[in-house]
């Protein structure tokens, strides 16, 4: 069940909140910089080293041509620090950016409406941001729920 509008996730048609975060290699990554090359799939996940998150990001890794090309970049975002993401991404073979929303803690997840304030980490939010900065797809599932293939397909179908 997708709960994007009910839970307050940034709706389709809105301007996507800008971010400036560090990836697993401690490099700065901005949404505006990514958008220069095309659409951006922003995938929020709760925590590294957890089964569902590992499975979802493994799906992106194993289907890389669907999630990354000359006009699409996929990034994953969580509240873990870059060193944790570095170890995890290296162990799992994730070659796409894993961004750290560590400090201010969960600020980007909060701006996208997906931060679970009680738990201190994001729900599984999925946003397709067009080159123009507008949200073209928005979905979120709650704790313990995994994204379905329908969610991935709908997000990718929303490309400009």
What are the residue numbers of the active site? Answer: 53
Residues 6+ apart with CB under 8 A from 93: 61
- Token pair, residue 96, equals 């796409």
Taking the C-alpha atoms of residue 150 and residue 123, their distance in angstroms, rounded to an integer, is 18
CA angle centred on 152, ends 4 and 120, rounded to 5°: 45
| Residue 106 contacts residue 79 (beta carbons within 8 Å) | yes
State the pairing for strand pair 39-44/72-78.
Answer: parallel
State the pairing for strand pair 39-44/124-129.
Answer: antiparallel
CA atoms within 13 A on the CB side of 66: 15
Taking the C-alpha atoms of residue 136 and residue 134, their distance in angstroms, rounded to an integer, is 6
């Amino acid at each position: 069940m997708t709960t994007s509008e009910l839970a307050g996730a940034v709706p389709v048609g809105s301007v996507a909140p800008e971010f400036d975060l560090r990836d697993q290699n401690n490099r700065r990554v901005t949404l505006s910089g990514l958008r220069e090359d095309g659409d951006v799939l922003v995938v929020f996940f709760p925590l590294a080293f957890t089964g569902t998150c590992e499975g979802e990001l493994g799906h992106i890794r194993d289907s890389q041509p669907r999630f990354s090309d000359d006009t699409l970049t996929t990034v994953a975002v969580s509240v873990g620090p870059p060193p944790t993401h570095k170890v995890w991404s290296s162990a799992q073979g994730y070659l796409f950016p894993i961004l750290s929303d560590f400090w201010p803690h969960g600020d980007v997840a909060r701006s996208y409406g997906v931060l679970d304030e009680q738990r201190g980490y994001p729900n599984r939010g999925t946003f397709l941001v067009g080159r123009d900065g507008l949200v073209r797809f928005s979905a979120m599932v709650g704790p313990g729920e995994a994204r379905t293939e329908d969610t991935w397909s709908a997000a990718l179908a929303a490309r400009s």
